[in-house]
């Protein structure tokens, strides 16, 4: 099956700094990738949809300037958490749709801790 | 509006007992449904999926799920639970007419008693 690689798996950063999370499709091209966020003991909520060659689409309530998404190529999407605060600490996970958009291939996820 | 509901936030079963986790969905078209498992601190692992055809689908780790259109349900079952099955379980529907994003249920935390 298709493989999506997400890095880093864990990151600890200081408040006020920025953190970049990468999501790569290893054996297929992904014109679209989805970014989800999971708060502790909660479900996964879609944050934004990244589109290769165009601006990302953000879900309601997600701060565009805080969560910068770039889809620079057909195999790479990045999420940058800018000016991180402790409340940004979360599990972030990306996914790429499969053929016909009928399934999803997930990255391994990134656990971000802001101290 | 599309939605997925998992009515049980937390379930505890004894090891060796049977398990059923409930999932109800709301979707205007033919649903493509999934069950994922997440161990603490880990990512998502796909247990099984339903696209079409046989309404009883088999997955990994001895899990199965039954799609019932009349009840808008896709319940997950396992005949005999093992201690290693303790984890968080998520039901999801893919919005294939919206690019393939998923809507997840709230999750059910499974605890297994020895």
Chain B nearest CA to A68, separation (Å): 19
Average pLDDT on A6-21 reads: 98
Closest alpha carbon within chain A to B98: A101
Give pLDDT tens digits for A56-73: 999 999 999 999 999 989
Strand partners, A36: A46, A93
Q: What is the pLDDT of residue B111?
A: 98
Residue A14 has pLDDT above 80, yes or no: yes
Closest alpha carbon within chain A to B99: A101
- CB-based contact, B40 to chain A, within 8 Å: no
Cα of first residue to Cα of last residue in chain A, in angstroms, is 37
Nearest CA among B74, B28, B72, B26 for reference residue B48: B74
C-alpha separations of A112 from A43, A81, A86, A88 in Å:
16, 10, 9, 8
- CB-based contact, B42 to chain A, within 8 Å: yes
The torsion defined by the Cα of A106, B95, B36 and B66, in degrees rounded to 10, comes to -150
Q: How far is the C-alpha of B9 from the C-alpha of B11, rounded, in Å?
A: 7
Asked if B32's CB is within 8 angstroms of A102's CB, the reply is: yes
Residue A1 has pLDDT above 80, yes or no: no
For residue B59, the SS3 value is coil
Q: How far is the C-alpha of A61 from the C-alpha of B41, rounded, in Å?
A: 26
Average pLDDT on A82-95 reads: 97
- CB-based contact, A62 to chain B, within 8 Å: no
Q: What is the pLDDT of residue B15?
A: 98
Q: How far is the C-alpha of B2 from the C-alpha of B24, rounded, in Å?
A: 11
Confidence class of residue A2 from pLDDT cuts 50, 70 and 90? confident
Cα of first residue to Cα of last residue in chain B, in angstroms, is 41
Residue B102 has pLDDT above 90, yes or no: yes
Determine the residue among A32, A33, A98, A103 to mutate to test chain B binding: the one whose Cβ has the most chain B Cβ atoms within 10 Å: A103
Q: How far is the C-alpha of B9 from the C-alpha of B100, rounded, in Å?
A: 26
Residues 6 or more apart whose CB falls under 8 angstroms from that of B53 comprise: none
Residue B10 has pLDDT above 80, yes or no: yes
Chain B nearest CA to A49, separation (Å): 8
Q: What is the pLDDT of residue B50?
A: 95
Q: What is the pLDDT of residue B53?
A: 87
């Amino acid at each position: 099956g298709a493989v999506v690689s997400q890095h880093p798996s864990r990151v600890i950063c200081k408040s006020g700094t920025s953190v970049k999370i990468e999501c790569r499709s290893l054996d297929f091209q992904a014109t679209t990738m989805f970014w989800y966020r999971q708060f502790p003991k909660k479900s996964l909520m879609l944050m934004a949809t990244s589109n290769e060659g165009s601006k990302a689409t953000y879900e309601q309530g997600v701060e565009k300037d805080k969560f910068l998404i770039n889809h620079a190529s057909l195999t790479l999407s990045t999420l940058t958490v800018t000016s991180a605060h402790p409340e940004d600490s979360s599990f972030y996970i990306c996914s790429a749709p499969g053929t016909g958009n009928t399934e999803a291939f997930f990255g391994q996820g990134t656990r971000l801790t802001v101290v | 509006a599309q939605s997925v509901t998992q009515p049980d936030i937390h379930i505890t079963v004894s090891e060796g007992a049977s398990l059923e986790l409930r999932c109800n969905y709301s979707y205007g078209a033919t649903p493509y449904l999934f069950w994922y498992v997440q161990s603490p601190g880990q990512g998502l692992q796909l247990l099984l999926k339903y696209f079409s055809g046989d309404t009883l689908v088999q997955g990994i780790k001895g899990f199965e799920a039954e799609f019932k259109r009349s009840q808008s349900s896709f319940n997950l079952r396992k005949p005999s639970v093992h201690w290693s099955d303790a984890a968080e379980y998520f039901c999801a529907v893919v919005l294939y007419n919206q690019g393939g994003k998923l809507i997840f249920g709230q999750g059910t935390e499974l605890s297994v008693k020895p």
